Amino acid sequence: MNQAAPRVVRYLDADDLADQAAKRLLHALIDFQADGRVAQLCLTGGRIALRMYARLAQLVVGSELDPERLELWWGDERFVPTDDPDRNAGPTLASLAGRFPLEPSRTHPMPAADGLIDAGAGAATYAKELGDTRFDLVLLGVGEDGHIASIFPNHPSGEPTTQAVIGVSDSPKPPAERISLTVAALSRAGEVWFLVSGGEKADAVAGALAGDQTLPAARVHGEEATLWLVDRAAAGALEYFECPF
């Protein structure tokens, strides 16, 4: 399938990015729910994402979004116990569910390290739960090294695979054990949005948009749209004409 060229939208700073991305996300989810559909959303972790979720939770109240027709998935997770603060799911769910009800049967955090043998077993469990789900929208952060989810450059996690979910060992970033959707699974989406804040990520943003295939961030694309939502600092290595609004 031919994929649309990535589009870059710049924001003034992290606060502006979180606020405007939350508004954009709310409108997108309402559109996905048209004709009674269940919106399929794949979430990311990270500081800017959490700030956006907090703003989204405020905006949902009184909006046209139907929380009962919102299905939540995660792109990756740290393979630690359920109550570990390093998990992506806990803070996200606390932020969202604190303001509006989420349907438990449509909320799919990745397995934790409680009772499971290893991250590989957790990945297999999540793959069965995921099935052939096609995401309406995948949200992704980007690391300074160009990693997305728990797929890292020059690491076995980035090797081609037919699997949708993998266990990650010896992660370059702690904790060492993780679970991640693969490039193929993340790209099985109508839209992919990258949320990036901070000048320390400017080179990774520029490299990914230039198509550097050594960077995992360059290898994930939405089938219908790929958006890079970046603040001014993260866009610091881009030419302005490369960033249409």
Question: Span 37-55, mean pLDDT?
Answer: 97
pLDDT tens, residue by residue, 113-169: 987 779 999 999 999 999 999 999 999 999 999 999 999 999 999 999 999 999 999
**Torsions phi, psi for 31 (to 5 deg):** -65, -40
pLDDT tens, residue by residue, 221-241: 999 999 999 999 999 999 865
> What class, spelled out in words, does domain 7-235 have in CATH?
alpha beta
Instruction: Give the model's pLDDT for residue 25.
Output: 98
Q: Among 86, 175, 166, which residue's Cα sits nearest to residue 126?
A: 166
Please report which confidence band the pLDDT of residue 245 belongs to, taking 50, 70 and 90 as the band edges. Answer: very low
Where do the domains of the chain lie? 7-235
Amino acid code (one letter) for 75: G
- Strand ranges for the chain from DSSP E: 7-11, 39-43, 70-74, 76-78, 135-141, 165-168, 178-181, 189-196, 225-231
- Strand ranges for 101-188 from DSSP E: 135-141, 165-168, 178-181
Q: What distance in Å separates the CA atoms of residue 177 and residue 139, rounded to the nearest whole number?
A: 22
Mean pLDDT, all residues of the chain:
94
Give the residue carrying structure tokens 């749209």.
Answer: 225
Please say whether the beta carbons of 102 and 96 come within 8 A. Answer: yes
Q: What distance in Å separates the CA atoms of residue 209 and residue 219, rounded to the nearest whole number?
A: 10
Please say whether the beta carbons of 206 and 151 come within 8 A. Answer: no
pTM of this prediction? 0.95
Please report which confidence band the pLDDT of residue 2 belongs to, taking 50, 70 and 90 as the band edges. Answer: low
Amino acid code (one letter) for 80: V
Specify the long-range contacts of residues 164-173, CB closer than 8 Å, at least 24 apart. Answer: 164/127, 164/130, 164/188, 165/123, 165/124, 165/126, 165/127, 165/130, 166/120, 166/123, 167/79, 167/118, 167/119, 167/120, 167/121, 167/122, 167/123, 168/119, 169/119, 172/145, 172/147, 173/143, 173/147
